[in-house]
Amino acid sequence: MNIYVLVKRTFDTEEKLVVSGGQIQEDGAEFIINPYDEYAIEEAITVRDAHGGEVTVVTIGDEEAEKQLRTALAMGADKAVLINTEDDVEEMDQFTAAYILAEYLKDKEADLILAGNVAIDGGSGQVGPRVADLLDINYVTTITSLEIEGETVKIVRDIEGDAEELETSLPLLVTAQQGLNEPRYPSLPGIMKAKKKPLEELELDDLDIDEEDVEAKTETIEVYLPPKKQAGRILEGEIPSQVSELVSLLRSEAKVI
Amino acid sequence: MSKKVLVLGETREGALRNVSFEAIAAAKKISGGGEVVAVLLGEAVSEFGNELVAYGADRVITVEHPHLKSYTSDGYGQAFMAVVDQEQPEAIVFGHTAVGKDLSPKIASKLQTGLISDVTDIEGEGDDAVFIRPIYSGKAFEKVKLKEDGVVFITVRPNNIAPLEREERSGDVSSLSVDITNLRTIIKNVVRKSAEGVDLSEAKVIIAGGRGVKSKDGFEPLQELADLLGGAVGASRGACDADYCDYSLQIGQTGKVVTPDLYIAAGISGAIQHMAGMSNSKVIVAINKDPEANIFKVADYGIVGDLFDVIPLLTEEFKKVM
């Protein structure tokens, strides 16, 4: 089976955010594989081990993203592709990313494409379904279970907490939700092997993409931190009197009840 | 220039979702005086048309088909694109719901336009509208607009944009016949795991429990308080990992992002991942035995104490005054 995983290198949102000049400052921050993409990588490896084939992880970014690709290879992916847009793309949005990925994937005859359902930095959750639409293949988002039996693919997906059971077929793009699996940690032999696995680097030229074709459709005007909350009030006294004070504050001061 | 705006209305358990009314309010702002047309897709949905008009839609178009009984991106995609072809809208608004999140990228891709997802606020009106959305798990916000001419397409996060006042208004409810074919996904079954009644992402009041709840049974007093206040019960990842409750209740960076009017965190320490899912709630109450717990830093009101003492007393106290 020919399996592709779309991966994004993301700012670790557990880091402290610093904004200056309307931009998030990334210097010295920790970067990780988007956590939802880790579920996608794990699932891809599991499917390959059960059905045979090859797992290729693909990302768009600059050379820094090699580190995350090597981690995916160390987990067990077979090949990695970095589409380096550093010199060609100044502003990227979901339209841009999906266009580039679809151009790369269009002649790959992928049976199964996996991605995270959302990236924890931008949080739009658009790229997976957009890629599927451009490739004219079916997609299923926020999946929590995947079973492939011959031509049939049985999936459970999370829809706002409920579990929807459905059937579809390959070729298919799915996006991973938490609960799909428990991503493995790269083993030491895995890390050693990953160093020798192929990592291909491509630029827009290699994909016959003009810079104009991938111009972002949206524009971020400003990035800012939410206003600091005033320190809250810790109530005092016996618990029963705190409780009645709280109820009256919620009614009269906060006016939420 | 005024814009014609399409809004996707959504129903759940036989009623329109609040987020659909909020989406109409957002559409009104974007329209700059243009027409707001609500769209309803389903097996039998025309009965809901007038309610969308009452909340501000100028007109409603329904597409009814047996293949639209359950949501599939193929079925809804074909139906919605048929409406787009007929109406030629200049803007589109969906709720940022399971359906909205799944369908909007497909429609945006077909229209080759930008999509601004998970919008929590709109500044300006008409052509000057700028959209505000949380990024980095709610730790920052960005202001975004469409770069060039094209269809303005946004999804709005539930519970953030106030709906218009409900009024008796008149507006045409018409149906469009669309041939829905070649569905590549077959829905077999939906297993309800979320609590009956109030949907967590749209709840005005959420009572959330963490590890401090200690067991499945420990959620009972929280549920009792939630029922009394017409709210929903949520949980931290810790409580879900410990198997005290289903992951469908999880609020946080992984899990649901919620913005209720009142969020009561009981026995939740306040890990940064949890805060990402709830820190934009309007009023936060923290109840925790540990006075040093992080959750007190974002709380508007805090009680240092055992949740099993505090929550039942709180329920009793609310019963007295409500």
Indicate whether B136 and B24 sit together in one domain: yes
pLDDT over threshold 80, residue B254 = no
pLDDT at A28: 79
Determine what percent of chain B is predicted with pLDDT higher than 90.
Answer: 87
Q: Give domain status of residue B56, yes or no.
A: yes
Closest by Cα among A1, A85, A66, A74 to A41: A74
Helices B307-321 and A239-248: angle between axes, nearest 10 degrees? 50
Per the CB < 8 Å rule, is B299 touching A225? no
Domain boundary among B121, B155, B175: B175
Specify whether the CB–CB gap between B49 and B39 falls below 8 A: no
Range of the domain at B262: 205-321
Specify whether the CB–CB gap between B56 and B165 falls below 8 A: no
A227 CB near a chain B CB, below 8 Å?
A: no
Q: Give domain status of residue B151, yes or no.
A: yes
Closest by Cα among A135, A137, A166 to A153: A166
CA distance A61 to chain B (A): 18
CATH number for position B90: 3.40.50.620
pLDDT in tens, B93-134: 999 999 999 999 999 999 999 999 999 999 999 889 999 999
d(CA A254, CA B266): 19
d(CA B135, CA B62): 34
Length of chain B: 322
Residues of B in Cβ contact (< 8 Å) with A222: 142-143
Indicate whether B152 and B209 sit together in one domain: no
Nearest CA in chain B to A134: B109
Domain boundary among B129, B154, B175: B175
Number of domains making up chain B: 2
- Of A217, A234, A257, nearest to B302 by CB-CB distance is A234
Residue B184 assigned ligand-binding role: no
User: What mean pLDDT, rounded, does chain A reach?
Assistant: 94
Q: Give domain status of residue B190, yes or no.
A: no
Indicate whether B24 and B141 sit together in one domain: yes
Q: How confident is the model at residue B194 (pLDDT cuts 50, 70, 90)?
A: low
Specify whether the CB–CB gap between B268 and B288 falls below 8 A: yes
Indicate whether B252 and B169 sit together in one domain: no
State ipTM. Answer: 0.93
Q: Give domain status of residue B186, yes or no.
A: no
Indicate whether B151 and B33 sit together in one domain: yes
- In this structure, the dihedral spanned by the alpha carbons of residues A32, A35, A39 and A40, taken in order and rounded to 10 degrees, is -70
- Of B101, B142, B188, nearest to A220 by CB-CB distance is B142
The answer for B 158-177 residues in CB contact with A (under 8 A) is none
pLDDT over threshold 80, residue B195 = no
In order of their start, the domains of chain A are 2-214 (3.40.50.620), 229-257 (no CATH)
Residue B314: enclosing H or E segment and its boundaries?
A: helix B307-321
Per the CB < 8 Å rule, is A17 touching B139? yes
pLDDT at B149: 80
pLDDT in tens, A128-150: 999 999 999 999 999 999 999 98
Indicate whether B159 and B219 sit together in one domain: no
CATH number for position B277: 3.40.50.1220
Indicate whether B148 and B222 sit together in one domain: no
Indicate whether B22 and B151 sit together in one domain: yes
Q: Give domain status of residue B193, yes or no.
A: no
Indicate whether B132 and B245 sit together in one domain: no
pLDDT over threshold 80, residue B36 = yes
B1 CB near a chain A CB, below 8 Å?
A: no
Indicate whether B258 and B112 sit together in one domain: no
Indicate whether B170 and B215 sit together in one domain: no
Q: Give domain status of residue B104, yes or no.
A: yes
CA distance B303 to chain A (A): 6
Residue B252 assigned ligand-binding role: yes
| Stretch B53-82: mean pLDDT | 98
pLDDT in tens, B282-295: 999 999 999 999 99
pLDDT in tens, B223-240: 999 999 999 999 999 999
pLDDT at A232: 87
Indicate whether B229 and B310 sit together in one domain: yes
The answer for B 217-246 residues in CB contact with A (under 8 A) is 229, 246
Q: Give domain status of residue B196, yes or no.
A: no
Strands B130-135 and B140-146: antiparallel
A183 CB near a chain B CB, below 8 Å?
A: no
Q: Quick count: other Cβ atoms within 10 Å of Cβ A150?
A: 7
pLDDT in tens, B137-178: 888 999 999 998 889 999 999 999 999 999 999 999 999 999
CA distance A193 to chain B (A): 31
Q: Give domain status of residue B33, yes or no.
A: yes
